[in-house]
A and B are shown apart, each in its own frame.
Chain A
Amino acid sequence: MQGVFFLTAITSIAAVALICIFLFYNGVPAIAEIGFFDFVGGQQWAPTNQPPSYGIFCMIVGSIYVTAGAIIIGVPIGILTAVFLARFCPAPLYKIIKPATELLAGIPSIVYGFFGLMVVVPFIRDTFGGNGSSLLAASVVLGIMILPTIIGVSESAIRAVPEPYYEGSLALGATRERSVFRVMLPASKSGILAGVVLGIGRAIGETMAVILIAGNQVQIPTSLTEGVRTLTANIVLEMGYSTGLHRQALIATGVVLFVFILLITLSMQAIKSRSEKNG
């Protein structure tokens, strides 16, 4: 029986290993051929030109911008929602809001994309000008998409803070709000940070919704209403017709994405072990 457990346990390890091998085996030679700095730092992405150029710097910046935008929108809303759910929400209301946030997590990303395309993009076009498909649109939609992650993780982090802290603060004459924001929230900061990092991971890897609403121009946007192309979008948009070095360069884009996710996971681990040490 133990053998079965062991087998199931190594399945995930095997999957990670296989993905790594596939990515690096196909991606690294391309990076070597293009040249590491030309690939990562180059601002020209023109795989069909003669001679072609394969610089993904704009897409790296695009992914970072879009993720940062999502964080700016999603984190404050998410944390405040978590605070409300964990500390202030009356039970009947909780029964509505909590499942709603969970439902938000279950909506397929293509549906978010449609929502962005039909609602957010036209709104931005009418309000701020431009064609609407933009960094701002992607940030807003991604900000909503990461909400359930941030709310869920932050809420349980806040709930995990011992109640005596709260009582101790009230007993000193602090209001409920002050007690929550000055004692309970700081006490749960590593858990909340973990939620934010998970949200970053989700935002940077998101593809479908972003493609529909980000415009996908290869450029470094100089304003919120300009379009961007993310790493993920780059891969999906061109994978279908690419061949040869172009195809390999797209896989190498995946390698870069993988490294980002790896860094995020590592910082996640660091936060965890730090909070275990302090807690």
Chain B
Amino acid sequence: MDKFTIKNMNLYYGKFHALKDVNLSMQENKITAFIGPSGCGKSTLLKSLNRMNDLVEGCKITGDIRLDNEDIYGNMDVNILRKRVGMVFQKANPFPMSVYDNIAYGPRTHGIRKKSELDEIVESSLRDAAIWDELKDRLKKSALGLSGGQQQRLCIARALAVKPEVLLMDEATSALDPISTGKIEELCLKLKDQYTIIMVTHNMQQALRIADYTAFFLLGEMIEYDKTDQIFSNPKEKKTEEYITGRFG
């Protein structure tokens, strides 16, 4: 089933036409990867899906983006959209608070006050993010003292704690070592049973390893979108082939 559908979408940063007539549907309980050379608009598209682009002055979007067939730029409350569509940033950004408070922040935002309930969410989120065993004795310690890989998994746990339907990940592993990267990839594969995952990556191998679908972007245009195997083994477009075989980008 289609979770997100994007139709005839154009995005402008002031006069700059950053995304050109994008049409794309992302399936529920699948991992979709966006690939493409730097500056082609992957992050821009991802940020359009939870309206983080609203923060950018002069950013204008036309066309249609729907979540479960509901226009996200229409009547939908942006805070509810962002609760439903969680985001993990390229650079881990845990809040300067304890591990526990980081995870509990989202649920508290959405009105959960009961200690026992929060305890439960903290534990299950950290378990889902495969970091409970590492952190269960450090819940009261500052999150800023964790390693980079732990911080990123903490941020994933923090995103999971509000029980989103979709998880957006913008190069979430680009700053991590292979072991942490591997853990997060495993995590994505595990999480896709419950969530729809949309990720940006510069790592072809990563897309190949975990993504069900892959979309290739170039200079603001979506060039090709297909099953990952198809894109990598038998791309239809010449530009895609050139990119994945490393002839440019």
Contact = CB atoms under 8 A, between A and B. Distances in A.
A274 interface: no
A164 B89 contact: yes
A175 interface: yes
B110 A186 contact: no
B97 A170 contact: no
A168 B79 contact: no
A172 B55 contact: no
Given A167-B55, A178-B109, A172 B97 contact: no
Contact of B95 (A165, A170, A173, A175): A165
Interface in B77-126: 79-83, 86-87, 89, 91, 93-97, 105-106, 109-110
B29 interface: no
A171 interface: yes
Contacts of B52: 167, 170-171
B106 to A, nearest CB: 4
Contact of B93 (A164, A173, A278): A164
Nearest to B102: A168
A172 B97 CA distance: 16
Contact of B96 (A170, A178, A187): A187
Nearest to B93: A164
Interface of A: 162, 164-165, 167-175, 178, 182-183, 186-187, 278
25 contacts: A162-B93, A164-B89, A164-B93, A165-B93, A167-B55, A167-B89, A168-B155, A168-B158, A169-B95, A169-B109, A170-B52, A172-B83, A172-B105, A172-B109, A172-B158, A173-B79, A173-B80, A173-B82, A173-B110, A173-B162, A183-B95, A183-B105, A187-B95, A278-B96, A278-B142
B109 A173 contact: yes
Interface string B138-173: 000010100000000001001100100000000000
A13 B80 CA distance: 58
Given A173-B106, A174-B109, A187-B96, 13 more contacts: A164-B89, A167-B52, A167-B55, A167-B89, A168-B155, A169-B95, A169-B109, A171-B86, A172-B83, A173-B79, A173-B81, A173-B110, A278-B142
Given A165-B95, A165-B96, A186-B97, A170 B80 contact: no
Contact of A174 (B79, B81, B86, B87): B79
B159 A172 contact: yes
Nearest to B91: A164
A175 B144 CA distance: 23
A165 B159 CA distance: 13
A167 B47 CA distance: 11
Interface centre among B94, B96, B110 (most CB of A within 10 A): B96
Nearest to B88: A171
Interface in B53-84: 55, 79-83
B50 interface: yes
A171 B79 contact: no
Looking at chain B, what size class is its interface with the partner chain? 20 to 34
A171 B50 contact: yes
B99 to A, nearest CB: 15
Interface centre among A162, A169, A173, A174 (most CB of B within 10 A): A173
A278 B159 CA distance: 25
Interface in B22-54: 50, 52
A171 B169 CA distance: 12
Contacts of A167: 52, 55, 89, 93
A183 B80 CA distance: 19
Contacts of B83: 172-173
A90 to B, nearest CB: 11
A172 B162 contact: yes
B27 to A, nearest CB: 22
B79 A175 contact: yes
Contacts of A186: 96-97
B234 to A, nearest CB: 36
A175 B95 CA distance: 16
Contacts of A172: 82-83, 86, 105-106, 109, 158-159, 162
A164 B158 CA distance: 14
A193 to B, nearest CB: 15
Contact of B89 (A168, A174, A183): A168
B109 A171 contact: no
Contacts of A168: 89, 93-95, 155, 158
Contacts of B94: 168
Contacts of B87: 171
A193 B247 CA distance: 56
